[in-house]
A = this chain, B = another copy of it.
Amino acid sequence: MIVALAGGVGGAKLAVGLAAVLPPAELTIVVNTGDDFEHLGFTVCPDLDTVLYTLAGENNPKLGWGRAGETWNFMNEVKRLGGQDWFQLGDRDLALHVLRREALARGASLSTVMRDLAACFGVEHTMLPMSETPVRTVVKTKFGELAFQDYFVRLRCKPRVTGFRFAGAKAARVPDALARVLRERVDAVVICPSNPFVSIAPIVSVPAIKAWLKARTFPVIAVSPIIGGAAVKGPAAKMMRELGIKPNALEIARHYERNYGNAVDHWVIDQQDAKLISAIERMGKRVLVTDTLMTSRRKSAILARQVLGFARKQINV
C-alpha cells in the first residue's frame, strides 16, 4: 500500500500519475481539507474536488480548479442579485456541491460522500479526506488572522503571512477507512509536490496522522513543490519569502526536517535544482533528480513511476 498526501493542483497531478501506475487496492490518497469552507450554504472542498476532478479527467486545467467545459450562468445571476461572487462555483461544479450538501445534511460522513461521488465519476482509486471533522487553515498576518479562502481567493494571497494555524486539528477525526490504512502495512508514503504550509501541514496536523508518521517503519518520499526557486502554481514561494525562508528545494527539505523531525527520507527534486543535491544529501537524505514538471497525464505517470521506483529501491535495500 502506497499512501499519498496531497493538496490541490500539484497533489492532484501526482495522484493521477500514481493512479495510472498502481491498482486501486494499492493506493490511498489522503487529501487536505484545511482549505474547505462554508460558502453560499455549501461545504466547499477545493482540494478534494480538484483531486477528484483531476483523477476523473474532468478538471479545468486552465483555471487549476473546477470543471472542464464549465459555464457560469448561476454565478452571473448570483452576482446580478447582489450575492457573494468572490468565490466562483460553476454550473456543473454546483451539481457536486448540491449533492454533497444533501448527503452531509442526511448525516453522511465527508469520506462517504466523496467515495460515492468518486464512484459517480468513475474514479476507482481511494481518495480520503484527512479528517471527517472540520479542520480550517487560518492564515496569520500582521493585520490579524484570515480564513484561508479569504486570504487565498478574496485577497489573492496579497497579505504578508506570518504563520498558520489549523483550527479544529486537535479534535480532528480521520475517516474509518483511513484509520484502517494507518493500522495496516504501508510500503511507502509519498508527499506530493503540494504547498508545505497550507496543503501538507494541515494533513500532518491531524493527531492520528502525525502519530502514525512519527512511529513509522516505512520510507517517506517527498517531491519538492519548488522548482528553480518558484512554485509551479500557488503561493508557496511567496509564503517562504515572507517567512524568511529562501524558496528552493533545499530549504523545503530543511523546513520539513525542522518541523517534523526525520519525517522524510527521500527527496525528489527537479533537474533545474541539481546543484542542491549534495546539500540535501548532507542532511542524510537520498535524492532523486528528474523532470518533476507534470505538464501532462503522461508526465505525471512517468514521475509517479520514478518516485515509486525510488521508494522500492529503498524498501529493498
Residue numbers of A with Cβ under 8 A of B are 40-41, 71, 73-75, 77-78, 80-83, 91-92, 94-96, 98-99, 101-102, 105, 117, 120-121
Interface CB pairs A-B, < 8 A, 6: A40-B102, A74-B74, A74-B94, A80-B120, A81-B121, A82-B120
Task: Tell me whether A83 and B105 are in contact (CB under 8 A).
Answer: no
Pairwise interchain contact B98-A41, C-beta atoms closer than 8 A:
yes
Q: Knowing A41-B105, A71-B71 touch, does A78 contact B98 (C-beta < 8 A)?
A: yes
Taking a contact as CB atoms closer than 8 A, the residue among B77, B83, B92, B96 that contacts A92 in the complex is B77
Question: Are B71 and A120 in touch, CB under 8 angstroms?
Answer: no
Q: Are B71 and A83 in contact (CB under 8 A)?
A: no
Chain B residue numbers with a CB within 8 Å of A78 are 95, 98-99
Chain B residues near A94: list those with CB within 8 A.
74, 77, 94
- 5 tightest A-B contacts by CB? A77-B95, A73-B91, A77-B92, A81-B120, A78-B95
Max chain B CB contacts within 10 Å: which of A40, A81, A82, A96?
A81
Q: Knowing that A41-B102, A73-B91 touch, tell me 10 more A-B residue pairs with CB under 8 angstroms.
A: A40-B98, A40-B99, A71-B71, A73-B92, A74-B92, A78-B98, A78-B99, A80-B120, A81-B121, A83-B102
Q: How far is the CB of A79 from chain B (nearest CB, A)?
A: 9
Residues in B whose Cβ lies below 8 Å from that of A71: 71, 73, 91
Closest to A120 in B: B81
**A81 and B105: CB pair below 8 A?**
no
In the bound complex, residues from chain B placing their C-beta under 8 Å from that of A91 are 71, 73-74, 77, 91
Report whether A98 and B120 are in contact in the complex, using a CB–CB cutoff of 8 Å: no
